[in-house]
Every structure is written in C-alpha cells, then in structure tokens.
Amino acid sequence: MSAQENQISLDGPIRRVLAAGMPSAEPCPSADVFAAYYEHSLDPEETEHYDKHFASCASCRAILAGVARASVATIPALETKQGSQWWNSMRVWLATAAACVAVLLVAVVFIQRSSKSTGTENAQLAMSRAVATPAPAESLSHAATTPAPAPPENVPPMLAGNAPAMPLPKSVKTPKPAPPPQDQAVDLSASASASAAVVEPAAPAPAPAERKKAEDARDGAVAALQPSATPQVAPDARQEMSANRAMQAKSAAGFAATMKKPKAQAPAKDIVVTSPGSQITWTIHTNHVQYAENGQPAPVQDFIPTNSAIAAGSSPGGKVCWLVGADGAVVRTTDGRLWLGTNSPTGSDLKAIKATSARAATVTSSDGHTYVTADAGQTWKSATAQN
C-alpha cells in the first residue's frame, strides 16, 4: 500500500500517541512566560525551547488554549493592535453621531437668536438633559411646567426633520425616569450643579454669551454622565472649551451610553447603606462601592463582583454589609472593603434585603418571594413557602 493510500488510517493513531504525551523533565513555565510566548515576544531560542515543552505537556497546552480564548474576548481598547480595526468599525457611528450633534447645535443657535426669553433657556436646559438621559425628575418636572416656547420660525424644516431624536420643546416631556426609591439616598450633586448653572433666570444677553451658556449647559450635562468627573467644571475651564470640543464630548458620551447599556436597568441613583451604630457608609455606584468611615471616603473604590445592577443593601452593623440586585445577585463584605459573591437563592431580580448578622439575611425578590440564609449565603430557604 502506498503512503497516499494510508493517509486516512493514520490520523487515529497519531492522535492517540499525541494524547498520550511524551515525558518532559522540566517544570512548567510561569504565567509570565505563557503570556510572552503568546505575544511572540520571547527570543527565538526560548520559543523553540517552549515549543518542545508544550508539545509534550497537555496542561500547558490547555493553559495556552485558555489564553487564546480569552484574547478573543479582549476589550478592543486594551488591544492596541486591534485599535485601528475597532476605530474603523466605530468611525461610521461616531461620524453619524457628530452629524446629529452638529444639526442640533445649528438648531440651538437659531432658537437662541429668535427667542431670548427665560422659557427658551429652560427649553435648552431640557434639551441638553435629553441628551444626557437619564435626568433628575425634579428638574425635568420644573422644565416641563414651563410654557413651551413657540417653534422658531427661522429653523429650516429640513434641519428640524433631520433631528427627530432631539425635538426641541417636546423633548422636555419625553424622558421620564422613575423617581428614586425613598429608602435610597440619592446623590444629585452632579446633575444639580449642572442645572444650577443655567436654571436661574437671566436677562436677555447678546448672542455670543447665550451661545456660551448653551455650551455650559451641555458641558454640565456631559459632565454629569462621567462617573469620575468632578461635578462641576471650573468656570475658566468651561470658558476655554470650544463648541467643537463640546460636540465631540457629547457625541462620544452619547455613543458610550448606547454601547454600554447594562444587562439590567441600572439604578439611576447611588445607593447608600449605613452601618447602624457606627459611622461607616457604603455608597454603591455601578459595580463599585465607595467606603467611608467617619465621613472620610476611602481613597479607592472597591469592586463588586457582579455585573448585575444593585438594587438594595443592608448592614447589620460593624463592617458587614450585604447587597442584592438583578438576576438574583447577592454580594457581601465582612471587612467593609472586600466584596465576595454568595450563592444566589433565585434567578429573579432581588429588590430588598434585611441583614441581621454577617451570616443571616432575608432577601425579597421582585416576584414577591422571600428567601432566608443563616450560613452567609451558602444555602437559602424559601420563607414564602413556609408562610
């Protein structure tokens, strides 16, 4: 039989021999070597050396296979090599967003020139908030009660029609976020400061000043979107910000907001949990917790090991705190800073929790069920069924 005719029959034994492996006397390399090997940054002789080892070591190959899988899921921003590819795909979207913002800006300028009343300023505020959705309910209601100005006569219909997402007075009423739950402390400083800059009635001013004011309103709205930005931009810094920069920031923020929608609806406001009998508070942002003791916030926010939106928290005292959220997420800390996930009693969203100790807590799901744990969340029992 010729070698050509043998080809089918040898794959089986080849695989069997390869799977059996071959002896390798040397120890497996460190993670640093795996990573460098994967990035092809080892020297040729090192690469050849590890090729031989990996060929006979199933564990090492499994690790490399894991690295290969992980790299596929890498965030594009972290991969500089893929940066250009990511940029190419995003460029179309950014260009579209920038065009929309440009149309909006032109419309705003026309409005300002034709109508200089306080009502117009409120409309601008509402419009800028519409861009920076979600907006605080209080300021929206204030703007909504203001008589809507008449549509400007000198706005070209083509422009108005090209920006359906930003209808001028109508947008005041469209975004209606739910008010924050009463049992949750709300941090409105960012949005409040943004609105404070423009809500005050102002006397009619020359067009350039109004234009700058409109930019300020947008800057404030954009700043409110940034989780780590200072609540209020310094006045001199705002003066230096050009309209073009404001447009870029807003389009990027809008784009980021559309691309990074959380799986579940994230709470619009921060949740604050206070430890009874002590001066410890936890302020929960999305996936982060700001720990504070005696009013002094920790220099670093702590990570919550869940992607689910946190809905409620409870502290029985001391440095113990429990949090619950969407998709049955339950996380807990016993030292105030290190958060670890526990087993989940249900896949449903959890909306409330009452913790009585570091090990005992009762949670309530959005479908009305109640679950109890007495072993730090390792096991849960349905309290609803017992009732």
Partner 1 sequence: MPSSPATHLIPLALAERLLHKADVPAAWGVTAAQFQSPLERSAAQRFSGVSPDARTVETFAKSLHAKDLALATACAAGNSAAWDFFVNQYRQEMVRAARAIAGDAAGRELADSMYADLYGGMRGTQSGERKSPFEYFLGRSKLSTWLHAVLSRKHVDEIRRTRKLDSLDEPRADDGAGDSRARIELPSDLTGAHAGHEPGRERYLALLQSVIAGVLAALPGRDRLRLAYYYVDELTLAQIGKIQGEHEATVSRKLERTRREIREQVDFVLRAEKNLDEAQRSLCYEYARDEWPFDLTGVLAGKAP
CA 78 to chain CA centroid, nearest Å: 17
Give, in degrees to the nearest 5, the angle at Cα 48 between 45 and 50.
Answer: 110
Is-cis flag, bond preceding 134, omega within 30? yes
**Residue in 287, 344, 274, 358 with CA at minimum distance from that of residue 313:** 274
Task: In angstroms, give the least distance from the CB of 200 to partner 1.
Answer: 35
Closest CA relative to residue 314, chosen from 325, 305, 322: 322
Shortest spacing between CB 304 and partner 1, in angstroms: 10
Binding-residue pattern over the window 301 to 330 for partner 1, x denoting contact by CB under 8 A: x-x-xxx-----------------------
Choices 69-77, 105-113, 118-126, 268-276 (CB under 8 A): range interacting with partner 1: 69-77
User: Least distance to partner 1 from the beta carbon of 265, Å?
Assistant: 19
- In angstroms, give the least distance from the CB of 289 to partner 1: 11
CB of 206 to partner 1, least distance (A): 42
For 188-210, letters b (16+ CB in 10 Å) and e give bebbbbbbebbbeeeeeeeeeeb
- In whole angstroms, what is the distance from residue 117 CA to residue 203 CA? 8
Q: Are the C-beta atoms of residues 220 and 233 closer than 8 Å to each other?
A: yes
At residue 121, the 3 state secondary structure works out as helix
When asked if residue 32 is in the footprint of partner 1 (CB under 8 A), the reply is: yes
How far apart (Å, rounded) are the C-alpha atoms in residues 339 and 289?
A: 9
CA–CA distance, 140 with 357 (Å, rounded to integer) = 41
Q: Which of residues 88-147 bind partner 1 (CB under 8 A)?
A: none
- Verify binding: residue 7, partner 1, rule CB under 8 A: yes
The region of 36-44, 91-99, 140-148, 205-213 touching partner 1 under the rule CB under 8 A is 36-44
Distances (CA, A) of 291 to 279, 285, 295, 306, 339: 11, 11, 9, 17, 11
The whole-angstrom distance between residue 385's C-alpha and the CA centroid of its chain comes to 36
Near partner 1 in 225-264, by CB under 8 A: 228
218 or 332: CB nearest partner 1: 332
Whats the size of the chain, residue-wise? 387
Nearer to partner 1, 62 or 385 (CB): 62
In the complex, minimum distance from the CB of residue 29 to partner 1, in angstroms, rounded to a whole number: 10
Name the residue nearer to partner 1 (CB basis): 14 or 234.
14
Cα(23)–Cα(21) distance, integer angstroms: 7
Nearer to partner 1 by Cβ, of 45 and 200: the residue is 45
Binders of partner 1 among residues 177 to 236 (CB under 8 A) are 228
Q: Any contact of residue 45 with partner 1 (CB under 8 A)?
A: no
Contact residue for partner 1 among 155, 291, 299, 369 (CB under 8 A): 299
Burial class (CB in 10 A: 0-12, 13-18, 19+), 130: buried
Check binding of 16 to partner 1 (CB under 8 A): yes
Nearer to partner 1, 250 or 332 (CB): 332
Residues 151-170 that bind partner 1 (CB under 8 A): none
Alpha carbon distance 192, 139 (integer Å): 8
- How far apart are alpha carbons 167 and 162 in whole angstroms? 10
Contact status: 3 vs partner 1 (CB under 8 A): yes
Q: Which of residues 324-383 bind partner 1 (CB under 8 A)?
A: 337-338, 340-341
Region near partner 1 per CB under 8 A, out of 18-26, 89-97, 154-162, 350-358: 18-26
- CB 148 to partner 1: min, Å: 41
> Does residue 290 bind partner 1 (CB under 8 A)?
no
Contact letters (x/-) for partner 1, 46-65, by CB under 8 A? --x--xxxxxxxxx-xxxxx
Considering only 74, 230, 357, 366, the residue that binds partner 1 (CB under 8 A) is 74
What residues contact 176, with CB distance under 8 A and at least 6 apart?
137, 140
- 66 lies in the binding site for partner 1 (CB under 8 A): yes
